[in-house]
Structure 1
């Protein structure tokens, strides 16, 4: 998701269950979570500097500071006009779905909703995705096309691939998993309000929206976006702010360990956590939900990771482990 408006600027032409790891991700304080876990595992390339490209506004009483969207964000931006290209490092094969739960798996009875950011068909439906929808605090575009790497690997393709991998891992743990959209169904969107509604209707125990950023070159790393405290219009996030923060902290800690990525060096002050109140997918959710920006598609080093199938599997594992930790308490 790039920072241009709340959703993205147009592109340019082990399953690990180590108890100590899960415990660490759950206990590290939110403000230091990204760095402490990152240092604990020995680090990797890409340092996370405090401060960043955007200056965060004042923090809400329930959570950390909210950052001003750089050039695009999970709910809106200028539509993309270029058609998606094939993914470098993508084997082109969907991840096989896991067998049905038997009732004895650790997540049996739990429901997880995965929201693959954007849709590869959005660029063909600019009128539809530019339609404004109510997000509680105002009106925003229904959806956006998302960003892309400089070589043309679309964010929408990345998010769907990671979502398929994540679904398989969670189903293997016994969870019931629903995607807000899959491949060409629907052919565009759905709108950000509908994405939230899908999780609400499913009574999800946890929901996550998968994204990748489109920020400036040199801006590196991941960040997890938490819902701010919103009570306006049809939005009331107050009941989900605390559990969503818990979910986000656990995902961030496990993402560091699984992928070797550092927290973003341009938002979140090095914590890997950002709070926002301008995203319809979060504002309208009534279930614990976060967004994750897995890296910056416009930075060549991050792009090399995002276009690697092996790395995307690690990303799915880190996200899965965070969700499992949250759902198991």
Structure 2
């Protein structure tokens, strides 16, 4: 292949006579094309000038543009349609596609249209009754709290004073503090929480044990927990959960709550130990942290799953140091709450 315009060499083997100038050897067809090209161009210009735009729209003279691949609502805010012909109005861009915040309550806010709603919280609508053991005013109302009440199987005092630490910290103070912390934790999970009492001027003593049971029954509580601390000899340490025995007599019948109450108690015991680091009582329960009793009116008269928890021994110096600590009481409340939530299926 040659890349210059020099004449062919005589030695090239060409059949054309070497005495004829090379530049005269042009094809007749090439000459004709050269003559016709300007004529065709002039004819096309004349035609365009006379005809004008067919639609009268100046955009008809604009060369068609390739369709844009930008999604609707792109950088220029338009769909990339060709300007050579009118197009249907573009559908509004969805807020999700454009990055705009979704309006509250929009079906897109929780997923695509038609998506199934989120499963309801298993704790929604559940009711728990918390029973803070004793009352700080009981010490001043011995006549009232010593009154006998029917607990189904026999009769017992309306209530008792509860115990104290050696330094005078009252069990009733401890139980109310833990109960309030427990309520806060449960309500944060959506649980409806009721107290058997709040103490104070409106409740200077009590309530009696039969009334405490009735409050849980009438609330149709899913679980009832009575918060306590024990008062036994020094060296006796640890927590225990008291479960109802199967009793039937008078207005007492625990046959329907024995099973679920045990489940509730087991959940609370395990979570309480985990949250507080405390061990099960070393003086009863055979190391299980669970004790069954048939002499407590608050359990005998209950028709709802119910347990008592003795969080520690106020008469033991080591346990008392825990029970008087606000940080530890928060852990105790969390452990009890975790047990209740587990029982409720949360």
- Is this contact kept in 1: 2:199–2:205, CA < 8 A? no
**What residue number does 1:260 align with?**
277
Asked whether 1:236 is paired with 2:264, we answer no
- For 2:196 and 2:121, how far apart are their aligned partners in 1? 24
Unaligned runs of 5+ in 2: 1-118
* Relative contact order higher in (CA < 8 Å, ≥ 6 apart): 1
SS at match of 2:225: strand
- For 1:217 and 1:143, how far apart are their aligned partners in 2? 25
**What residue number does 1:183 align with?**
199
Q: 1:245 aligns with which of 262, 268, 283?
A: 262
* 1:221, distance to aligned residue in structure 2 (A): 0.1
TM-score (norm 2): 0.65
What per-residue deviation string (whole Å, max 9, x for no partner) do you get for residues 115-143 of structure 1? 00000011111100000000011000000
What per-residue deviation string (whole Å, max 9, x for no partner) do you get for residues 32-51 of structure 1? xxxxxxxxxxxxxxxxxxxx
Q: 2:317 aligns with which of 278, 300, 303?
A: 300
- Is this contact kept in 2: 1:223–1:273, CA < 8 A? yes
**What residue number does 1:311 align with?**
328
Paired residues for 1:193-204 under 5 Å: 193-204=210-221
**What residue number does 1:139 align with?**
155
- For 2:248 and 2:264, how far apart are their aligned partners in 1? 21
Considering only aligned residues, what root-mean-square deviation do their CA atoms show, in Å?
Answer: 1.1
Larger helix percent: 2
* 1:105, distance to aligned residue in structure 2 (A): 4.6
**What residue number does 2:190 align with?**
174
Larger Rg: 2
Q: 2:286 aligns with which of 266, 269, 273?
A: 269
What per-residue deviation string (whole Å, max 9, x for no partner) do you get for residues 193-220 of structure 1? 0000000000000000000000000000
- For 2:199 and 2:143, how far apart are their aligned partners in 1? 20
Query: Between Structure 1 and Structure 2, how many residues are aligned?
Result: 227
- For 2:199 and 2:139, how far apart are their aligned partners in 1? 14
- For 2:324 and 2:159, how far apart are their aligned partners in 1? 23
- For 2:199 and 2:327, how far apart are their aligned partners in 1? 21
- For 2:225 and 2:255, how far apart are their aligned partners in 1? 18
- Is this contact kept in 2: 1:216–1:299, CA < 8 A? yes
Deviant stretches of 4+, over 6 Å: none
Unaligned runs of 5+ in 1: 1-102
What per-residue deviation string (whole Å, max 9, x for no partner) do you get for residues 140-186 of structure 1? 00000000000000000000000000000000000110000003131
What per-residue deviation string (whole Å, max 9, x for no partner) do you get for residues 205-258 of structure 1? 000000000000000000000000000111000000000000000000000100
* 1:107, distance to aligned residue in structure 2 (A): 1.4
